[in-house]
């Protein structure tokens, strides 16, 4: 009986690894969504403040609102990368579950062992693509922070606010 259970459990190591990756990405996804909501709340407060501001301050607030909109759009693009990484990581786990089922079923129907191998390879590919997207997400995650930091430096120097992300 142990000979039957051991091959079924081999992909279970991938469940655990994939689950940990998904856990961290779900937390990241929630944090990114929180950033978008914070930018939108700040933009709304800025737009309300514009109603009662003098013309000079109104111009600065308008630039600020535009910058916040740009940041919000950038963070939404960031969220899409995190979401896609999650899709591939969860897909990898699902394929590993199907692989385990196919391994177990292959003891009854031998040709299913080829299906199990195929599912295992697809699960690895899906996990690999998800990890590549995680690396991509790391690349873009600093852009909103760098944009905000540059705007604060520009304000301090009296240069006005940037409205668009600087091009890399």
Q: How do residues 123-144 score in pLDDT, each as one tens digit?
A: 999 999 999 999 988 888 777 7
146: alpha, beta or left? (left if phi > 0; alpha if psi -120 to 50): alpha
Q: Which two tokens stand for residue 43?
A: 């933009």
Whole-number Å distance between alpha carbons of 153 and 165: 14
What is the length of the chain?
168
Separation of CA 69 from chain center: 19
Say if 1 falls within a structural domain. Answer: no
3-state secondary structure of 166: coil
- Residue 141's pLDDT is 78
Residue 50 domain boundaries: 9-157
Average pLDDT over residues 61-73: 84
74, 143 Cβ separation under 8 angstroms? yes
Say if 165 falls within a structural domain. Answer: no
**pLDDT of residue 1 exceeding 50:** no
pLDDT class of 151 with cuts at 50, 70, 90: confident
Average pLDDT over residues 24-33: 91
- Residue 167's pLDDT is 47
Say if 162 falls within a structural domain. Answer: no
Which is higher by pLDDT, 168 or 35?
35
Say if 36 falls within a structural domain. Answer: yes
What's the structural domain count of the chain? Answer: 1
List the helix and strand counts (H, then E) for the chain. Answer: 5, 0
3-state secondary structure of 43: helix
- Residue 127's pLDDT is 93
**pLDDT of residue 9 exceeding 80:** no
Q: Which two tokens stand for residue 18?
A: 């994939």
Return mean pLDDT, the chain: 84
Residue with tokens 């003098």: 54
Say if 167 falls within a structural domain. Answer: no
Name, in order, each residue with C-beta under 8 angstroms of 66's C-beta and a sequence gap of 6 or more: 161, 163
- pTM, whole model, 2 decimals? 0.76
Q: Which two tokens stand for residue 59?
A: 């111009």
75-130: per-residue pLDDT in tens? 888 899 999 999 999 999 999 999 988 988 988 999 999 999 999 999 999 999 99
What is the CATH classification number for the domain harbouring 130? 1.20.1270
Q: What is the CA radius of gyration of the chain?
A: 24
Longest alpha-carbon distance in the chain: 81
């Amino acid at each position: 009986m142990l000979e039957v259970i051991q091959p079924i459990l081999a992909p279970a190591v991938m469940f655990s690894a994939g689950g940990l990756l998904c856990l961290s990405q779900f937390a990241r996804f929630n944090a990114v969504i929180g950033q978008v909501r914070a930018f939108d709340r700040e933009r709304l407060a800025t737009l309300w403040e514009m109603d009662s501001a003098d013309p000079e301050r109104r111009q600065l607030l308008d630039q600020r609102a535009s910058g916040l909109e740009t940041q919000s759009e950038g963070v939404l693009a960031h969220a899409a990368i995190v979401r896609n990484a999650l899709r591939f990581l969860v897909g990898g786990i699902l394929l590993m579950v199907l692989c385990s089922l196919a391994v177990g079923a292959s003891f009854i129907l031998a040709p299913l062992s080829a299906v199990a191998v195929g599912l295992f390879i697809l699960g690895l590919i899906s996990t690999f693509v998800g990890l590549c997207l995680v690396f991509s997400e790391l690349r873009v995650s600093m852009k909103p922070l760098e944009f905000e930091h540059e705007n604060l430096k520009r304000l301090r120097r009296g240069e006005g606010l940037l409205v668009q992300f600087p091009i890399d």
